[in-house]
Structure 1
Amino acid sequence: MDRIIASRIRQDVQSMHAYAIQDSRGLIKLDAMENPHRLPPALRQKLGERLAEVALNRYPGDRVHELRAALARHAAMPEGFDLMLGNGSDELISLLAMACDVPGAAILAPLPGFVMYAMSAQLQGLKFIPVDLTPDFELDEAAMLAAIERHQPAIVYLAYPNNPTANLWDDAVIEKIIEAAPGLVVIDEAYQPFSSRSYIDRVARHPHVLLMRTLSKFGLAGVRIGYMLGRKALVREIDKVRPPYNISVLNSECALFALEHEPVFAAQAAQIREERGRIQRALGALPGVRSWPSDANMILVRVPDAARTFDGMKARGVLVKNVSKMHPLLANCLRLTVGTAEENARMLEALHASL
């Protein structure tokens, strides 16, 4: 087996680390930016009855097209645009790398940022160009523009808000980056339900800009539905590399059901935003802790000793994300997901006790 692996598996894949998912059994899970609220019992029953009628013996068909139309309405998609679906945003990121794999192509993104941008480039054999944020996690305008000029990337990713820093970036700088980009610019709005701003009202101004969103933060992380919208001609070309049945009938039906009950999820998002403010106020009273403003359902904090604090919180039954080794700018940083009021109270108690 070792010989087969050594001779038949790509060397760069052998040297990679798989995407790490923490074991959360028995812990309050505040490490993955999930919506902590489940559907009310009555809606769970209705959804179960509806899923029972799905034709599992058939490939996905018209209901997927109905989901695309429902998401277009939900996102207020501009005229002349189209929308494609992915098995989560992760698949869309991989498909973009595949579609743009022309000789010499590169993918550029600011760091620290979402790890899948770099991973998709590596797996497709593309060059990844990282550009560090400023120490306050803002876009470094001069460095971004210089990197674009030098490397002429096929894709520039801009998360809005960013993960793991949770902040929105200066719109004027984003516009300059878009104008300078020779290829695609992907605005990743994964955390849009919790954000004070969206790029949707400006995306139509730029034919090379794609807007990517997901239903994971909407409240359906387990359903795995990502979607991307842009000019019809552009989306049509990228959609050619999508597997024909990448969205299951069960996932489609769950997503349609959720969109039909959108006010329930909007109320959950409002609760999360309210809890986010309460956490941020409480963090301000903790000695030795610095937190940054958030437009997502997570808060980045810097503590005196991230490893010790992470371990202490885990020992007290609360799982967060230690991001301190992801990038030098994140030294001694933890990422806290906003949970329910009870979970957040437990998290703050554990954090205070573990400092």
Structure 2
Amino acid sequence: MKRVLRADVQDMHGYAVQPSAGMVKVDTMENPFPLPPALRRALGERLAEVALNRYPAERIDELRAALARHARMPEGCDLMLGNGSDELISLLTLAADVPGNTILAPLPGFVMYAMSAKLQGLPFVGVPLTADFELDGPAMLAAIREHRPAIVWLAYPNNPTGSLWDDAAIEAIIEAAPGLVVMDEAYQPFAARDSLDRLRRHPHVLVMRTMSKFGLAGVRIGYLMGRTALVRELDKLRPPFNVSVLNCEAALFALEHVDEYERQAATIRAERARVFAALAAVPGVKVFPSEANMLLARVADPAAVFAGMKARKVLVKNVAGLHPLLAGCLRITIGTPEENTQMLAAFEAALKESQA
């Protein structure tokens, strides 16, 4: 097989998913709330009527229309579906696979931007954030001038930092970019601002969102919005029937009950404020402001705190080794109020243990 498979693929590490059975799972930015029992029953009855023997057809177009209404997509734009945002990132990178093209993004950021570029054989340029996880505007503009990137990825808010970056810095980047600027709004349900106005004003801006943080991580629905002519070109790369009939129907059901998911998001935002205040009050902890459904906390010994929390059946994400700016950092997803209380108790106990 070594002769058949690409050498760089053989040298890569697969995406690791931590075993989580029996744990308070606050490591992967999922919405922690299930649907109420009555809605679960209604969804089950509806999915039972789906024609599993048929390929997805017109129902997919109904989902596109429903998402466009939900997102308040501007006129003159179109919407493309993906099997999660990951597929859309891969397809955009594939579309930009032209000799001499470069992909650019701030770091630390979502790992799939760099990974998709690498798999497509395109150079990836990572521009470090500032020490407080803001965009380094001058460095970004310098990199754009030097590399002339085909795609600039801007996660808004950013993963894993939760940053909702300065609007003036983003506008300067958009004005300077010679190619596409993709605003990745995976965490938009928890943020105070979005990029729809940028979509209206700039023909080279795309906005990407997902239903994963909305509350359907297991359903794998991502969507991309942009000017109609541009999206239609990109849509040529989308595999036919890339969204299953079950996923489509579950997503349509969720959009019919958006008030329930909005209540959940409001609870998560309130809990984020509570957890932030609790962590900020702990001596020896630096917690960073976030507009997403997770918080980044810096401690002296992240490996020890991670292990101590795991021993207490609470699973967070140790991101300290992902980038030098993340030294000492743990990423903590906001869970239910009960999960957050358990997490805080485990965090404080593990921190004290690490300091002993």
TM-score, normalised to structure 2, is 0.98
What SS does the corresponding residue of 2:206 show, helix, strand or coil? Answer: strand
Native 8 Å contact 2:152 2:180 kept in 1: yes
Distance in 2 (alpha carbons) for counterparts of 1:315 and 1:290: 23
Letter in 1 for 2:260: V
Name the residue aligned to 2:354.
none
Letter in 2 for 1:212: M
Name the residue aligned to 1:259.
255
Name the residue aligned to 2:292.
296
Pairwise CA distance, 1:25: 1.3
* 1:138 and 2:112 matched: no
Distance in 2 (alpha carbons) for counterparts of 1:230 and 1:203: 7
Pairwise CA distance, 1:19: 1.1
Letter in 1 for 2:324: P
Pairwise CA distance, 1:17: 1.0
* 1:271 and 2:267 matched: yes
Letter in 2 for 1:108: L
What SS does the corresponding residue of 2:265 show, helix, strand or coil? Answer: helix
Name the residue aligned to 1:174.
170
Distance in 1 (alpha carbons) for counterparts of 2:198 and 2:131: 28
What SS does the corresponding residue of 2:196 show, helix, strand or coil? Answer: coil
Question: How many residue pairs are counted as aligned between the two chains?
Answer: 351
Matches within 5 A, 1:1-355: 4=1, 6-355=2-351
Letter in 1 for 2:299: V
| CA-to-aligned-CA distance 1:175-227 (integer Å, 9 cap, x gap) | 00001111000000000000011111232100000000000000000000000
Letter in 1 for 2:70: H
Letter in 1 for 2:45: E
Native 8 Å contact 2:297 2:329 kept in 1: yes
Distance in 2 (alpha carbons) for counterparts of 1:285 and 1:174: 32
Pairwise CA distance, 1:285: 1.3
What SS does the corresponding residue of 1:334 show, helix, strand or coil? Answer: strand
Pairwise CA distance, 1:59: 0.3
Distance in 2 (alpha carbons) for counterparts of 1:289 and 1:48: 44
Distance in 2 (alpha carbons) for counterparts of 1:347 and 1:90: 29
Percent sequence identity over aligned pairs: 70
What SS does the corresponding residue of 1:8 show, helix, strand or coil? Answer: coil
What SS does the corresponding residue of 2:141 show, helix, strand or coil? Answer: helix
The ranges of structure 1 where at least 4 consecutive aligned residues each deviate by more than 2 angstroms after the TM superposition are: none
Distance in 2 (alpha carbons) for counterparts of 1:313 and 1:260: 38
Structure 1 vs Structure 2 CA RMSD: 0.6
Distance in 2 (alpha carbons) for counterparts of 1:147 and 1:15: 28
Native 8 Å contact 2:198 2:205 kept in 1: no
What SS does the corresponding residue of 1:150 show, helix, strand or coil? Answer: helix
Question: Which sections of structure 1, spanning at least 5 residues, go unmatched?
Answer: none
| CA-to-aligned-CA distance 1:294-325 (integer Å, 9 cap, x gap) | 10000000011000000000000000000000
What SS does the corresponding residue of 2:153 show, helix, strand or coil? Answer: strand
Distance in 1 (alpha carbons) for counterparts of 2:4 and 2:165: 43
| CA-to-aligned-CA distance 1:107-163 (integer Å, 9 cap, x gap) | 100000000000000111111110000111011111111111111111000000000
Pairwise CA distance, 1:106: 1.1
Distance in 2 (alpha carbons) for counterparts of 1:260 and 1:117: 32
Question: Which sections of structure 2, spanning at least 5 residues, go unmatched?
Answer: 352-356
TM-score, normalised to structure 1, is 0.98
